[in-house]
Amino acid sequence: MTDPDDAVARRLDANAAAGPLAELFTVDLTVAMATCAGCGNTAPLAAHPLYAHAPALVIRCPKCAAVVLRYASGGGRLRLDLRGARLLTVTLDGAAAHGLSPVQ
Amino acid sequence: MAGTAIRRRLSWQRADVLAVQREARRAYRLSLRPPDWSGHLPGQHVDVRLTAEGGYTAQRSYSIASAPQQPGIELIVERLEDGEVSPYLTEVLRAGDLLELRGPFGGYFVWPAGDGPVQLIAGGSGVVPFLSMLGHHRATGGLRQVRLLYSARTFDDLIGQAELARQPSTVEVTVTLTRGAPAGWTGLTGRVDARLLAEHTIPPAQEPEVLACGPTGFVEAVANALLELGHDPIRIKTERFGATGGP
Amino acid sequence: MSFVSRGFTGRRRAVPAGRLPPGQYDVGDGFPVLSAGPTPYTSLDRWDFRVRGQVDEERRWSWAEFQKLPRESVVVDVHCVTSWSKLDTRWEGVSVDTLLADVVTAAEFVVAFSDGGYTTNLPLADVTDGQAWVVDNYDGRPLAPEHGGPARLLVPHLYLWKSAKWVRGLELTVEDEPGFWESFGYHNYGDPWREQRYAGD
C-alpha cells in the first residue's frame, strides 16, 4: 500500500489520451507540441505525464508538473481545460502522416 | 475526405473475436476482426470498452501487436491479478464473442520514418508495439539496422517468441531475464541498466531512434540511463503503461 | 447503447438495498487510488495544518501539536464520483469542529488546500457539527501517502473528491471559490445521494 512504485505506476504518457482527445479534435493532438503556461517548457503532448485514474484525464508539464490540460467525458458532455497550455503547435505534415494516413 | 475517415475510426465498433490464445505465462493473444478497419501505423493502440448489464463500462488502451500488413488486428493482453478488464479479456472472452473497440490511435510512439538505425527497448508486455514494428519492418524488406533489447521476468513470460525467432538479418534481438533463467539459457540475465545498455544497444554515436516501452518505473530508469550514455533526448521516445487494473 | 459484453460484470457486487447512492457500486475489499498528479511526500517535521483566510487570527498546528489534539474514530461509507463506493471504512483523526473551535469568522465557505496544489471548496456548514475530520489513520494504520497521508480531509457525506488528500489547511472565505474539480465542471456541492456529479446535475 505504501510502495512509492504504486504511485509511479499510475503515471502514464499522454500518448494514451489519443483516443479520448480524438472525441474532440480532428487532428491527433498527442503529436502536437504543447507549451506550459507556467514554465514555458515545450514538448510533444504525447511525452507529457498523464494521470488517467482521476475523475478526468489530467496531463501535466514534464518539467514543472503544472496541469497543462484536463479532459473528461461524462454526464453526456465533453469538457476541456487548456488554461495550462500557452500554445499548442500542430505540424500539419506530421499530423497528416501520422494521424490521417494509416499504413495500408 | 479526411473528415469521414476520422469520424469512422473514432466511433466504437464491435470486432469479431476470432481467437483468444495463451501467449506467455500471464499474456493472451486476442485475434480480432473489426468490421471497419483501414489499417494502422506500427506502434498504435486501440481503446477497448466493456459494458455490463445496466450500462456500467470499463475502458482500457492496448497496443496493437500485429503488423499493418496482416489482416485484422491482434492485441496481447497481460492478465493483472487485481485488474477489472484484463481478467475478462484473458479468461472470459472467447472466439465468437464481440469486443467493442475504437482506433487506431496515437501518432507519436510509432515506427520512425527514414533509414537510420532504430533501437527498441522493451520491459514485459511493453514488447507488444515492437512486435507490430518488427513485423512491418520484415514485411517491407527494410534495410535499416534494428535492435531490440527485451527484458522479461522469466523465460515463460516471454511474449512473441515465435515472431522474434524469425527476424531478418538486419534485426538483432537480445533478451534478458530478470528473475531467473532456465537451465541451458545462453541469453542475458539481470535488469536493464546503463552497463547493459552500453553493451547491447546501438551506441549514441550512431544516432539511433530509440523507443522504450514498458512499466513506468522501467521506462524511466531506461530513459535516464540512455541520457547518461549520451543519447540525445530528442531521439528518445517512451511509452509507459501503469497499473491499468484500477477502476 | 444496448450492447453488453457477454459475461462482463465489472467489480459490482450485491449490497443491502439503500446502502449505496444511485449509480454507485461496492468496490469490496479494494481501495482504488485516484490521483490527478504526483504523490507529494512531505516530511512530518515540515508538515503543518493551517486555518487561515477570513479569520480573526490564523491558526497553525505542527505535526506534534496536531497529534495532541483530541482524537475521534469514525466508521463511514465513502463514495467516489467515478462510481465506486467503499463501505464501513475506519478512520481516526481530529474533528474539524476542534480545529475551528473559537475561530471568529464571517465566512460561509471553506477551501481545503493540499500539498501538490489541489483544492476543493465546501460550505462551512458542511464541515462543522461532526460532519468532517482531518484523518491521519486508516484501518488502524498511519494513512498511506497514496490515500492522502500524512493527513487528509474526510467529509463522507459528499463525493470523495471533497475529502482532499494531503490536506494542509482550510481557508475560510466569504465568497464560494470553486476548487480543482469544481472549476472543471464537477458539481459544486457533490451530494452522492442526489447524484450531483457534474455542474447542473
User: How does the average pLDDT of chain B come out, rounded?
Assistant: 92
pLDDT tens per residue, range C104-128: 999 999 999 999 999 999 999 999 9
Percent of chain C with pLDDT over 70: 99
Q: Is residue C25 part of a domain?
A: no
Supply the ipTM of this predicted assembly.
Answer: 0.89
Q: What is d(CA C201, CA C199) in angstroms, rounded to the nearest whole number? A: 6
Is the CB of C12 less than 8 angstroms away from the CB of B56?
Answer: yes
Range of the domain at C75: 48-194
Instruction: Name the pLDDT band for B55 (thresholds 50, 70, 90).
Output: confident
Q: Is residue C11 part of a domain?
A: no
SS3 call for B197: helix
Instruction: Name the pLDDT band for A92 (thresholds 50, 70, 90).
Output: confident
Q: What is d(CA C2, CA B241) in angstroms, rounded to the nearest whole number? A: 31
Q: What is d(CA B31, CA B17) in angstroms, rounded to the nearest whole number? A: 6
pTM of the shown model = 0.90
- Region B2-105: CATH code: 2.40.30.10
pLDDT tens per residue, range B153-185: 999 999 999 999 989 999 999 999 999 899 999
Mean pLDDT of B114-130: 97
Q: Is B114 left (phi over 0), alpha (psi -120 to 50) or beta?
A: left
Enter the C-alpha cell of residue B83.
485488474
Handedness of CA B195, B174, A14, A73 (dihedral sign): negative
pLDDT at res. B84 = 85
State which residue of chain C sits closest to B13, comparing Cα positions: C3
pLDDT at res. C133 = 98
Considering only CB atoms, which residues of chain C are within 8 Å of chain A?
A: 32-39, 41, 81-82, 117, 144-147, 161, 181, 183-186, 197-198, 200-201
Is the CB of B56 less than 8 angstroms away from the CB of C83?
Answer: yes
pLDDT tens per residue, range C38-90: 999 999 999 999 999 999 999 999 999 999 999 999 999 999 999 899 999 99
B partners (3+ CB pairs within 8 A) are A, C
Considering only CB atoms, which residues of chain A are within 8 Å of chain B?
A: 5-6, 8-13, 15-16, 18-20, 22-23, 26, 28, 30-31, 44, 46-47, 52-53, 94-100, 102-104
Residue A93 DSSP one-character state: H
pLDDT at res. A75 = 79
Instruction: Name the pLDDT band for B81 (thresholds 50, 70, 90).
Output: confident
pLDDT at res. C186 = 95
pLDDT at res. A74 = 80
State which residue of chain C sits closest to B15, comparing Cα positions: C5
Enter the C-alpha cell of residue B14.
464491435
Q: What is d(CA B142, CA B123) in angstroms, rounded to the nearest whole number? A: 25
Evaluate if residue A97 carries a pLDDT over 70: no
Residues of B within 8 A of A51 (CB-CB) are: none
| Side-chain half-sphere exposure of B73, counting CA atoms within 13 A | 33
Q: What is d(CA C158, CA C192) in angstroms, rounded to the nearest whole number? A: 6
pLDDT at res. A76 = 84
Range of the domain at A10: 4-100
Residues of A within 8 A of C79 (CB-CB) are: none
Q: Is residue C134 part of a domain?
A: yes
Evaluate if residue B246 carries a pLDDT over 80: no
Evaluate if residue A102 carries a pLDDT over 90: no
Is the CB of C1 less than 8 angstroms away from the CB of B51?
Answer: yes
Mean pLDDT of B12-26: 97
Evaluate if residue B7 carries a pLDDT over 80: no
pLDDT at res. A98 = 47
Cβ burial, residue B14 (10 Å; 0-12/13-18/19+): middle
pLDDT tens per residue, range A34-74: 999 999 999 999 999 999 877 899 999 999 999 999 999 88
pLDDT at res. C1 = 52
Instruction: Name the pLDDT band for A96 (thresholds 50, 70, 90).
Output: very low
The Cα of B84 is separated from the nearest Cα of chain C by a number of Å equal to 6
Evaluate if residue B5 carries a pLDDT over 60: no
Instruction: Name the pLDDT band for B242 (thresholds 50, 70, 90).
Output: low
Number of domains chain C contains: 1
What's the farthest any 2 CA atoms get from each other in chain B?
Answer: 57
B71 shares contact with chain A (CB less than 8 Å) = no
Residues of C within 8 A of A53 (CB-CB) are: 32-35
Q: Residue C119 belongs to a domain with what CATH number?
A: 3.90.420.10
Evaluate if residue A1 carries a pLDDT over 60: no
pLDDT at res. A100 = 45
Number of domains chain A contains: 1
User: How does the average pLDDT of chain C come out, rounded?
Assistant: 95
pLDDT at res. B64 = 97
SS3 call for C76: strand
Higher pLDDT, B230 or B243: B230
A19 closest CB neighbour out of B5, B105, B136: B105
Residues of C within 8 A of A10 (CB-CB) are: 33, 35
Q: In sequence order, what are the residues at sequence separation of 6 or more whose Cβ sits closer than 8 angstroms to the Cβ of residue B1?
A: none
Evaluate if residue A2 carries a pLDDT over 80: no
pLDDT at res. A9 = 57
Enter the C-alpha cell of residue A55.
475523475
Mean pLDDT of C24-37: 88
Residues of A within 8 A of B38 (CB-CB) are: 102, 104
Is the CB of B51 less than 8 angstroms away from the CB of C3?
Answer: yes
Instruction: Return the exposure string of C5-29: e unless at least 16 CB atoms fall within 10 Å of the residue's CB, then b.
Output: beebbbbbeeeeeeebbeebbbbee
Enter the C-alpha cell of residue C121.
471548496
pLDDT tens per residue, range B206-225: 999 999 999 989 999 999 99
Architecture per CATH, B118-241 = 3-Layer(aba) Sandwich (3.40)
pLDDT at res. B2 = 41
Q: Contact C132/C126 with Cβ under 8 angstroms?
A: yes
Domain limits of chain B? 2-105, 118-241
pLDDT at res. A104 = 37
The Cα of A93 is separated from the nearest Cα of chain C by a number of Å equal to 33
Size of interface A-C (CB pairs under 8 A): 65
Handedness of CA C35, C41, C42, C43 (dihedral sign): positive
A contact test, residue of C24, C29, C33, C35 with most A CBs within 10 A: C35
Instruction: Name the pLDDT band for B54 (thresholds 50, 70, 90).
Output: confident
Instruction: Name the pLDDT band for B3 (thresholds 50, 70, 90).
Output: very low
Among the ranges given (A6-20, C3-17, C86-100, C134-148), the one the predictor scored with the smallest mean pLDDT: A6-20
Instruction: Name the pLDDT band for C11 (thresholds 50, 70, 90).
Output: confident
B contact test, residue of C1, C8, C86 with most B CBs within 10 A: C8
Handedness of CA C13, C17, C19, C23 (dihedral sign): positive
Mean pLDDT of A87-91: 94
Mean pLDDT of B55-80: 93
Expressed in angstroms, the distance from the first to the final Cα of chain C is: 21
Evaluate if residue C182 carries a pLDDT over 70: yes
